[in-house]
Amino acid sequence: MSVIHADVLGAGEAVVLIHGWGMHSGIWLDFARTLAVTHQVICLDLPGHGLSLPLLNASLSQQTQDLLASIPVEKFSVVGWSLGGLLAIEMANSAPERVKSLVLLASNPCFVTQGYWPGVKREVLDSFARQLQADPQQTLMRFMALQVNGLSNAKMRLQQIKQAVLSRPAADLASLEQGLNTLKQEDMRKILANISCPVSAILAGRDTLVPISLQNALPDTRKDIKIKVLPDAGHMPFLTHAEVLLDSLRECL
């Protein structure tokens, strides 16, 4: 039995969805059901998140191999949201014969600010790591609140996120720590530049975790990258701006 849990919806050309840190695929099942009207959608729970078993001390490459082994089709497009974007990049890099196209959704090939490269300050992620040790549940709540900060109906959106997160088991502490370390340490820019399949990035104008200025930096890494911007959305556009995201995503697949 695979250690990775997968939900499979619909029929047609396959699209794999990989969620972000501290979440699970239940966070975007409503969005996946809508996308499944035109595609076969495969939603994966990352190791130690939701219904997937932990893979402790596993490298990004090892985690990706387990994700690949759980995908029941040979050829697919992959959409990586937030942290999931790093695994999606590695997936396209390590299995180019299987990945038709790559979409980075509110994601960054290098999450930590590096010189001119826009990202999150390392001390912000260090702060999350310290708080995680002291109070994992409260840290996750703060992280969820950050993702709707500045959006209209933020309280309603936060409640929607909480309900979705509580629909499956919480991520274990070791997997959360491992995910934060991945966000802090991985720089996938050179790998992204050499991926053979078409690459797109969908960014959000009000994203507090992935700066919109990334749209100007990404072409320095890969000139042929297709970039789409959802100006009024935050870090979770599949919850707050699902219809416009679907239109953009279908253009990238």
For residue range 170-197, list pLDDT tens digits in order. 888 899 999 999 999 999 999 999 999 9
- Note the pTM of the prediction, 2 decimals: 0.94
66, part of any domain: yes
84-108 confidence digits (pLDDT tens): 999 999 999 999 999 999 999 999 9
- Residue 81: the pLDDT is 97
Catalytic residue among 175, 235, 241, 248: 235
Whether the CA torsion 230, 96, 49, 250 is positive or negative: it is positive
Answer yes or no: is 228 within a domain.
Answer: yes
Among candidates 253, 126, 149, 139, which has minimal Cα distance to 207?
149
Pair 19, 45: CB distance under 8 Å:
yes
Catalytic annotation present for 39 = no
200 is annotated as an active-site residue: no
- Domain count of the fold of the chain: 1
What span, in angstroms and rounded, lies between the C-alpha atoms of 195 and 209? 24
Mean pLDDT, residues 32-42: 97
The answer, yes or no, to whether residue 2 has pLDDT greater than 70, is no
Catalytic residue among 25, 52, 77, 82, which?
82
Could you confirm whether 82 is annotated as catalytic?
A: yes
Measured distance CA(16)–CA(19) in Å, rounded: 10
Buried-exposed string 51-81: b where 16+ CB fall within 10 A, e elsewhere: ebbbbeebebeebbbbbbebbeeeebbbbbb
Choice among 49, 207, 241, 248 that is catalytic: 207
CATH for 199:
3.40.50.1820
Would you say residue 147 has pLDDT above 80? no
Give 60-80 pLDDT, tens digit per residue: 999 999 999 999 999 999 999
**In a domain? residue 1:** no
Domain that holds residue 131: 6-252
pLDDT at 129: 84
